[in-house]
């Protein structure tokens, strides 16, 4: 992804869902990098907010509005995703040989329960990892692909090709059995 690239994302917070355009700050950056922070070397208060442009906001009370710019506190983001295939992913989405330090991962179908949402999607792990190992990683956001987000309070559902779920907002996660 080039530094000039912008793509559409959806951000879910407790009281609203926002859809807008995000600019990724590094040429090789991904949405997951923006959410988790790119480096521990940065100043402590940097990157506390994500900025999106051309924003549509759907409030849980049914009201809708538009704004040119919104700044969202990352700690309050329940999940964030992309609707376009591969825009949230890094080198794993590219075809052909992968450059170092690419690590091939296996998909695991999971179901996540959150306050107000049920999510079903593909979580990825290294072959020797268990789901619990992935959950123990330091990053705050857990990446999923092919995610279905179902509102348990409202008659809404979203299909997102990539979704980053805030692990601290999850109530439970379990592997889905394939039938």
DSSP 130: -
pLDDT for the residue numbered 178: 66
The pLDDT tens digits of the residues spanning 87-114 come to 444 444 445 554 555 566 688 899 999 9
Mean pLDDT computed over 160-176: 93
pLDDT for the residue numbered 107: 86
Distance in angstroms (rounded) separating the CA atoms of residues 145 and 120: 9
- What fold is seen in the domain 6-175? SH3 type barrels. (2.30.30)
- Average pLDDT of the residues of the chain: 81
pLDDT for the residue numbered 88: 45
Percentage of residues in the chain having pLDDT higher than 70:
75
Mean pLDDT computed over 146-159: 92
In the chain, where the domains are located? 6-175
CA angle 70, 79, 170 (to 5 degrees): 140
Percentage of residues in the chain having pLDDT higher than 90:
47
29 has a pLDDT exceeding 90: no
pLDDT for the residue numbered 72: 95
21 has a pLDDT exceeding 90: yes
85-94, 124-133, 143-152, 159-168: least confidently modelled range: 85-94
User: 38 and 112 in contact (C-beta within 8 Å)?
Assistant: no
Say whether 84 sits in a helix, a strand or coil.
coil
Distance in angstroms (rounded) separating the CA atoms of residues 75 and 57: 19
């Amino acid at each position: 992804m080039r530094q000039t690239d912008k793509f559409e994302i959806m951000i879910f917070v407790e009281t609203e869902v926002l859809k807008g355009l995000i600019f990724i700050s590094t040429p090789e950056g991904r949405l997951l990098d923006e959410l988790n922070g790119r480096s521990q070397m940065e100043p402590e208060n940097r990157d506390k907010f994500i900025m999106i442009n051309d924003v549509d906001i759907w409030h849980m009370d049914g009201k809708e509005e538009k704004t040119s710019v919104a700044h969202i506190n990352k700690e309050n983001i329940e999940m964030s995703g992309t609707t376009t295939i591969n825009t949230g992913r890094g080198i794993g989405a590219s075809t052909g040989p992968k450059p170092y330090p690419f690590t091939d991962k296996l998909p695991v179908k999971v179901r996540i329960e959150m306050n107000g949402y049920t999510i079903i999607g593909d979580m990825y792990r290294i072959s020797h990892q268990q789901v619990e190992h992935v959950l123990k990683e330091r990053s705050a956001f857990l990446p999923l692909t092919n995610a279905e987000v179902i509102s348990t309070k409202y008659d809404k559902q979203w299909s997102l090709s990539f979704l980053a779920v805030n692990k601290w907002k999850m109530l439970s996660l379990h592997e889905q059995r394939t039938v």
